[in-house]
């Protein structure tokens, strides 16, 4: 039986966190290729350390995209984040590019040929989740953790908080009563700042961003509001800690409130089911909750490399559902073709919309007019209701 009274914590990291810098660069490279060829194949990893960026991976796309172009994309991403520091500067850093052509063996297994449909780019399991704790149908701890850092970043970029640096982390602990979040019991924010600021000064810069994000009356007591607990955070970003693509997969998804299949998203084109099927699973789960068929919904999809159809479609409404889960699984598979090609077509994923996903979560965002975050749409609600009522 599910616990009803408990505390739960999730964390987020900002766009300037070393791992997120790498996610952003890798996704900017995905966007570059898709802007030239919607069917390009990309799997690019990034490593960042003190004034160094290393790009590696495999691609299949236009030969007009040169290593120099990838280097310039990396510099532009770092500049946009806001790094102009002695130890990490968009213009002064050294960028090495080791990106090469995709393996022919992978291409044979994945490409459509004759009667064979396009197969999954790899084996794996992917999860999607939604719940009615927030307007975005996301778990509340990760939702508010993201929102705090996004608010701080907007203030930094606008010039309202020039004393803040790009690197930051947040952590929100919420008290649940009768299965619903009711208040914060602890909030932690660590943010890079200009030399000379005291811990108390940083605390007062951060405070209004937390208060404005949390619902009224949810703020924790002063003793459990931690800002830069070590007292100083001047050296940050890749100068303070090396970064890698794909190391913040729980931050990218549901903050630990739901399972994760294990595959990272950033740096991968949408033929990779690590990315596209995770988006599809979220899309389905969100529509189930939005349709009022459950208060919580977890969906798991599984794939084999080179095989087009999912091996399994598992639906769990955690005892909150109002309809039969087996029938729900059947209906969802009728509404959406869950092959790699079907997912990409239904959600319009062959577009350069991925750099924006690299920070503040891939889920719980607003669907955008150009196709960004299309997996957040709730356009299946009427069909789902019609199937059951």
pLDDT in tens, 291-308: 999 999 999 999 998 888
98 lies in some domain: no
Catalytically annotated residue among 75, 247, 275, 356: 247
pLDDT digits (tens, 9 = 90+) for 102-118: 876 665 556 654 544 57
- Judge if 128 and 170 occupy the same domain: no
Is there a domain that residue 166 lies in? yes
Catalytic, 19? Answer yes
What percent of the chain stands above pLDDT 90? 92
Q: Does a structural domain hold residue 346? A: yes
169 tagged catalytic? yes
Give the closest residue to 1 by CA, choosing from 320, 298, 323: 320
pLDDT for 103 equals 72
Residue 292 domain flag: yes
pLDDT digits (tens, 9 = 90+) for 236-283: 999 999 999 999 999 999 999 999 998 999 999 999 999 999 999 999
Tens-digit pLDDT profile for residues 322-366: 999 999 999 999 999 999 999 999 999 999 999 999 999 999 999
Residue 107 known to bind ligand: no
- End of a domain among 235, 259, 285? 235
Are 284 and 317 in contact by the 8 Å Cβ rule? The answer is no
Does 264 belong to an annotated binding site? Answer: yes
> In the sheet where 124-131 sits, what is the strand order?
124-131, 296-303, 312-316
Tracing tokens 């459990």 back to the chain, one arrives at: 224
CB 365 within 8 A of CB 43: no
Choose the catalytic residue: 169, 209, 296, 344.
169
Residue 247: active-site member? yes
Residues 283 and 197 in one domain: no
Residue 148, phi then psi, degrees to nearest 5: -60, -50
Q: Name residue 274's beta-bridge partners.
A: none
In this predicted model, what pLDDT tens digit does every residue of 306-329 receive, in sequence order? Answer: 888 999 999 999 999 999 999 999
Q: C-alpha dihedral over 87, 93, 96, 101, to 10 degrees?
A: 110
Average pLDDT (189-193) is 98
- For residue 105, what pLDDT is reported? 62
Q: Where are the beta strands (DSSP E) in 194-328?
A: 225-227, 243-244, 296-303, 312-316
Is 241 a catalytic site residue? yes
The answer, yes or no, to whether residue 155 has pLDDT greater than 50, is yes
Please check if 193 is assigned to a binding site: no
Which position among 24, 150, 193, 268 bears the catalytic label? 268
Q: Which domain holds residue 197?
A: 6-14+140-235
Query: Given this model, what pLDDT does residue 115 score?
Result: 47
pLDDT of residue 370 exceeding 70, the answer is: yes
Q: Which one is catalytic: 8, 88, 127, 233? A: 233
The response to whether 368 counts as a known ligand-binding position is no
Q: Do 303 and 376 lie in a common domain?
A: yes
**369 labelled ligand-binding:** no
Of the residues 45, 122, 133, 252, only one is catalytic, namely 45
47-51, 119-123, 150-154, 225-229: the lowest-pLDDT one: 119-123
Bridge partners, residue 184, by sequence: 174
> Which of 205, 235, 265 finishes a domain?
235
Of the candidates 56, 76, 107, 242, the residue annotated as catalytic is: 242
> Which of 19, 31, 122, 269 is flagged as catalytic?
19
The reply to whether 232 sits in an annotated binding site is: yes
- The token pair at 327 is 């029938």
Is position 169 annotated in a ligand binding site? yes
Q: Buried b / exposed e across 116-151, counting CB within 10 Å, b at 16+? A: eebbbbbebbbbbbbbbbbebbbbbbbbbbbbbbbb
Task: Identify the active-site residue in 75, 193, 272, 296.
Answer: 272
For residues 181-192, average pLDDT: 98
Please indicate, yes or no, whether residues 128 and 156 belong to a single structural domain of this protein: no
Looking at residue 262, its pLDDT comes to 87
Dist CA 80 CA 95 (whole Å): 16
Q: Is residue 317 part of a domain?
A: yes
Q: Does 247 show up as a binding residue in the annotation?
A: yes
* Residue 128 sits in the same domain as residue 162: no
Give yes or no: 20 in active site.
Answer: yes
Q: Which helix (H) or strand (E) holds 288?
A: helix 273-290
Angle at CA 149, nearest 5°, toward 146 and 150?
A: 80
274 is a catalytic site residue: yes
List the catalytic residue out of 111, 117, 201, 241: 241
176 contacts 153 by C-beta, under 8 angstroms: no
Contacts of residue 135, defined as CB under 8 A and 6 or more positions apart, other chains included, come to none
- Told to judge if 248 belongs to the known catalytic residues of this protein, a careful annotator would answer yes
Q: How far apart are CA 217 and CA 205, in angstroms?
A: 20
Q: Biggest alpha carbon distance in the chain? A: 67
Answer whether 0.85 is exceeded by the pTM. yes
Total count of domains within the chain = 2
Residue 290, domain member (yes or no): yes
Collapsed DSSP state (helix, strand, coil) of residue 302:
strand
The span from the CA of 143 to the CA of 328, in Å, is 27
Whether 268 is a known active-site residue: answer yes
As separate numbers, helices (DSSP H) first and strands (DSSP E) second, the chain gives: 10, 13
193 is catalytic: no
User: Is 96 tagged catalytic?
Assistant: no
Q: Is residue 326 situated within a structural domain?
A: yes
233 annotated active-site: yes
Predicted confidence band at 3 (pLDDT cuts at 50, 70, 90)?
confident
Q: Is 45 annotated as a binding residue?
A: yes
Domain final position from 180, 211, 235? 235
What pLDDT shows up at residue 389? Answer: 84
Q: Do the strands 94-101 and 52-60 form a parallel or antiparallel pair, or are they unpaired? A: parallel
Asked whether residue 252 is marked as a ligand-binding residue, the answer is no
383 pLDDT more than 80:
yes
Report which of 59, 57, 58, 89 is spatially closest to residue 75, judged by C-alpha positions: 89
CATH number of the domain where residue 351 is located: 3.30.300.10
Judge whether 182 and 175 are in contact, CB under 8 Å: yes
Ligand-binding site membership of 88 (annotated): no
Set 11, 27, 122, 274: catalytic member: 274
Averaged confidence pLDDT in the chain: 95
């Amino acid at each position: 039986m599910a616990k009803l009274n408990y505390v739960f914590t999730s964390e987020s990291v900002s766009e300037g966190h070393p791992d997120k810098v790498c996610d952003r660069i890798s996704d900017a490279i995905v966007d570059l290729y898709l802007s030239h060829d919607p069917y390009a194949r990309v799997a690019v990893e990034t490593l960042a350390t003190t004034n160094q960026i290393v790009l590696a991976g495999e691609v299949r796309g236009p030969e007009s995209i040169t290593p120099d172009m990838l280097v310039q994309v990396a510099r532009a991403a770092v500049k946009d984040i806001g790094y102009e520091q002695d130890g990490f500067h968009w213009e002064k850093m050294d960028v090495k590019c080791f990106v090469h052509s995709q393996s022919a063996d992978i291409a044979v297994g994945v490409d459509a040929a004759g009667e064979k449909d396009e197969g999954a780019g790899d084996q794996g399991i992917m999860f999607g989740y939604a719940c009615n704790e927030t307007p975005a149908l996301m778990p509340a701890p990760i939702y508010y953790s993201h929102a705090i850092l996004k608010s701080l970043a907007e203030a930094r970029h606008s010039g309202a908080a020039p004393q803040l640096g790009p690197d930051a982390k947040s952590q929100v602990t919420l008290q649940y009563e009768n299965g619903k979040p009711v208040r914060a019991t602890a909030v932690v924010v660590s943010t890079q700042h200009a030399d000379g600021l005291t811990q108390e000064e940083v605390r007062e810069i951060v405070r209004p961003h937390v208060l404005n994000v949390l619902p009224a009356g949810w703020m924790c007591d002063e003793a459990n509001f931690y800002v830069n607990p070590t007292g100083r955070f001047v050296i940050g970003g890749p100068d303070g800690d090396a970064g890698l693509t794909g190391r913040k997969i729980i931050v990218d998804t549901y903050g630990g409130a739901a399972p994760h299949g294990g595959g990272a998203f950033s740096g991968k084109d949408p033929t990779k089911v690590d990315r596209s099927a995770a988006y599809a699973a979220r899309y389905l789960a969100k529509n189930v909750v939005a349709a009022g068929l459950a208060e919580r919904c977890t969906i798991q999809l599984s794939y084999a490399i080179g095989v087009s159809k999912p091996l399994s479609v598992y639906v769990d409404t955690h005892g909150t559902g109002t309809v039969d889960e087996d029938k729900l699984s059947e209906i969802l598979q009728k509404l959406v073709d869950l092959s790699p090609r079907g997912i990409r077509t239904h959600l319009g994923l062959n577009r350069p919309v991925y750099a924006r996903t690299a920070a503040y979560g891939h889920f719980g965002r607003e669907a955008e007019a150009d196709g960004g975050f299309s997996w957040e749409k709730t356009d299946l609600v009427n069909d789902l209701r019609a199937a059951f009522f």
